[in-house]
Structure 1
């Protein structure tokens, strides 16, 4: 039985609810006091002893979170960033204890088993449903300060198509929250890849319709190592670059570990005059000592023991020495910000400007399914998703499958590309049947049926959040001559809640193997934790 938050507050002792954190222009503010808010945060994802490695969730470990909250208070942080959680589990105890301790939570929406895969990106009805389930689970908690829609999903010039789908996900989750009168901001966490740094930063905030833009932008920076300075680390250049950025910017990860113990000299700049007029604080990576050697303490799931590393006291001292003041919300008016233009298609950027994938619609998928004269019998299981992808790839060599394909460089998104793999596989089989008059599919049983709907009536059905369809099949605004000779390649992964480090995709080209990503997202879970 789910215990109410109010009952838990009584059990944990009286506590004043944390004030809502809001955004005005390009800064965060405390909605009650009007003070500018700076995240003094830690990345928090303990893994040692996790009983369910495929569904990691430190906020479901009531022993662990109570143990670590004592460290959080001792360190002087005011927020944690949590990468992986399980929306089917209960988080009341941990979230209430964090709120009582004055700790906000910045939560990544994806998880390894449901994420936009950088190698085979898509934004589907199934993925959208799981993203909604995540925010449904956590939006009841007043100390959720923000959601991160993706972490380093596009991490090189070969994986730029994924950025289109991530931005579409941000747009749709923002719309879903708005319909429920929830104002929690939605942002993105980017890596620092020089070849696409400027394009990524522009892409996520360039839309004329602000509902399509992220509310804040995060950067995972590990440039400041050892005895570097504000100037020699390159941080000075980042401040200049984002000085006029239209939304808040923060370091969603920082803390180079090339030299240990770390002394954290960047903390003084981040929360001091070097950076506090541009950056809204950040999250040091990370609390728990894992195999990658970034931790402040060694802990184990469900255990009370804490073994601190030398980094612990150094980080505590660094935070204690800073006290950013900022400005009052009532007095702040952004004067220099300018919304950038959306980046054009180039040999390193494969997303057409201003055109995003449509919002998924299960009604459209159900409609098109009922128009088939030939279809796969039953649903494609996760274990068969890869086989279904192969089937579609082979079938679509012989017949047109444009309605289930995408091309981000041309801004083309088939009307049913957002349907699940079962629907798309049956679409291909039906297209083959209509052309060849043979109802068959290698590796699957098929069946013929009398259509109960007309295909030309299916595309513009209401979306899965009951908004009007934006499934209008827009074409690119760029010349096709700009789209030639785009290379394909693979990408390497950093520990992340979204994105995959395996596989090869044709950058900006027609996506057919994406049809197998229901399975890919599960198979690649381990790779996404690297």
Structure 2
């Protein structure tokens, strides 16, 4: 009997583990790779900052991942949209993000977190970077690492965003970006239980783009300062008349074909033509652009810049825009079987050694001597910051949408719930539509019963087999 109880305890432990998390992701060559299945992960994502920069209110204990009902509401809509990744720009490292991170994890959605913030002292000063690289700044960004490194759906950290946006800033900032990346990577190495990639999000300024990528990806004395991935904020594809060539996607493919690290769009979705039709989605995930690892559409919520997929109303309800419908339609067209079968090791290129010969414009920085660790910071990297807020996954029990959601026609979308995906499963396009038609019932589309059954069988079948194996061994 004791053996039976022991076997049942093992089964319960397996159940808890299988239900706990998506697989972590690592970098291999030009690809993000699932550490368990070894399959390539293509980023199918959306930038997420409800309330915009104003949604970051540390003085009130609020940021985009601090309010559970908001995260549940939006995770449901992002899951239905078909995304597997969000980017979150501004987070407070002192807040508890367990519930929100766990909700997105349960939805099969990874997070890329920016370590910087919009307030003074929370980011590198692009005009005088040496004035902002100090102990207090590193305490802040290491706090973000501590806060999010425990979540398996933390895909990576952005060390900086668009710090170089012209030739002047391209002359003085690259060394400091590499210094910050070095410090973050060494902190992760010393204090996290896994490797979490660190990268940079670049502005699409063509006079410095290639040099920015070349400077950040090259290898320099094994000092850990190079980017693990490279994000590009690209808005060159505008409207339904744009083409692969007119948007200069062919130029980007040629530029990054020899990349030693993953490259993806950290923002995309030009809004010069409205509503956006997102034709670029088929190009981005098509056979001509497999050198890139997907991208993140800017952005989920409607803010002053008018890029929103959804309007968050004052009472907490959400009204989807036609942009949401159009993007969902484009995601549903993707050939996921082909995307998921891409060989992550097909292109593995060693990073070139850092040298001035890599730089095409000599007005850009050609000095690869990275600044020393700032005074007092070496101890932080070695021993950790004091009293960090460390995140961990918690059980997700609430799955019903806490607020009403209205389609782009104004009809309420009924029956919205978060689908708790089995362990190891990332979210993706499901083929369903969300906004009810004007003549429809307004009911949400039901998931395929066959598909749902196959997901359950895949996760529980293994457990049943293990259970009977344990019984047989008694």
TM-score (norm 2): 0.70
SS at match of 2:169: coil
Match of 1:17 among 16, 21, 33: 21
* Paired residues of 1:64 and 1:300 also in contact (CA < 8 A): no
- Per-residue CA deviations over 1:259-290 (Å, capped at 9, x if unaligned) read 01000011001111121x20111100000000
| Comparing 282-291 and 26-35, the one that deviates more | 26-35
- How is 1:469-508 mapped onto 2 (pairs within 5 angstroms)? none
Q: Partners of 2:59 and 2:274 in 1: how far apart? A: 30
Q: Partners of 1:280 and 1:189 in 2: how far apart? A: 14
Hey, what does 1:71 align to over in structure 2?
77
- Per-residue CA deviations over 1:350-377 (Å, capped at 9, x if unaligned) read 53422011112318xxxxxxxxxxxxxx
- Per-residue CA deviations over 1:291-322 (Å, capped at 9, x if unaligned) read 10000001158x54011111010000011111
- Per-residue CA deviations over 1:223-265 (Å, capped at 9, x if unaligned) read 0001201111101110111011111101000000000100001
Hey, what does 1:52 align to over in structure 2?
57
Hey, what does 2:317 align to over in structure 1?
305
Match of 1:158 among 168, 173, 184: 168
Distance change >3 Å, CA 274–CA 347, structure 1 → 2: closer
Match of 1:175 among 175, 181, 186: 186
Between the two proteins, the alignment pairs up a number of residues equal to 356
- How is 1:67-146 mapped onto 2 (pairs within 5 angstroms)? 67-113=73-119, 114-122=122-130, 123-146=133-156
* Aligned-residue CA RMSD (Å): 2.6
- Structure with higher Rg: it is 1
* Paired residues of 2:30 and 2:344 also in contact (CA < 8 A): no
Match of 2:205 among 185, 189, 193: 193
Tell me, yes or no, if structure 1 residue 220 matches structure 2 residue 233: yes
- Per-residue CA deviations over 1:10-41 (Å, capped at 9, x if unaligned) read xx9x9441011111111111111111110100
- How is 1:288-437 mapped onto 2 (pairs within 5 angstroms)? 288-300=301-313, 303-324=315-336, 325-326=338-339, 332-334=345-347, 339=352, 341-343=354-356, 349=363, 351-362=365-376
* Paired residues of 1:34 and 1:328 also in contact (CA < 8 A): no
Q: Which has the higher contact order (CA 8 A, sep 6+)?
A: 2
| Comparing 252-261 and 55-64, the one that deviates more | 55-64
Distance change >3 Å, CA 249–CA 184, structure 1 → 2: same
SS at match of 1:66: helix
Hey, what does 1:6 align to over in structure 2?
none
* Paired residues of 2:49 and 2:55 also in contact (CA < 8 A): no
Q: Partners of 2:293 and 2:178 in 1: how far apart? A: 22
Unaligned 5+ runs, structure 1: 1-11, 364-461, 468-530
SS at match of 2:83: coil
* Paired residues of 1:257 and 1:293 also in contact (CA < 8 A): yes
| Comparing 278-287 and 43-52, the one that deviates more | 43-52
Distance change >3 Å, CA 328–CA 207, structure 1 → 2: same
Hey, what does 1:280 align to over in structure 2?
293
SS at match of 2:287: coil
Distance change >3 Å, CA 169–CA 316, structure 1 → 2: same
Distance change >3 Å, CA 316–CA 54, structure 1 → 2: farther
Q: Partners of 2:68 and 2:76 in 1: how far apart? A: 13
TM-score (norm 1): 0.63
* Paired residues of 1:63 and 1:304 also in contact (CA < 8 A): no
SS at match of 1:58: coil
SS at match of 1:137: helix
Runs of 4+ in 1 over 4 A off after TM superposition: 53-56, 326-331, 335-338, 344-348
- Per-residue CA deviations over 1:325-349 (Å, capped at 9, x if unaligned) read 3576987253555526444789863
Hey, what does 1:205 align to over in structure 2?
217
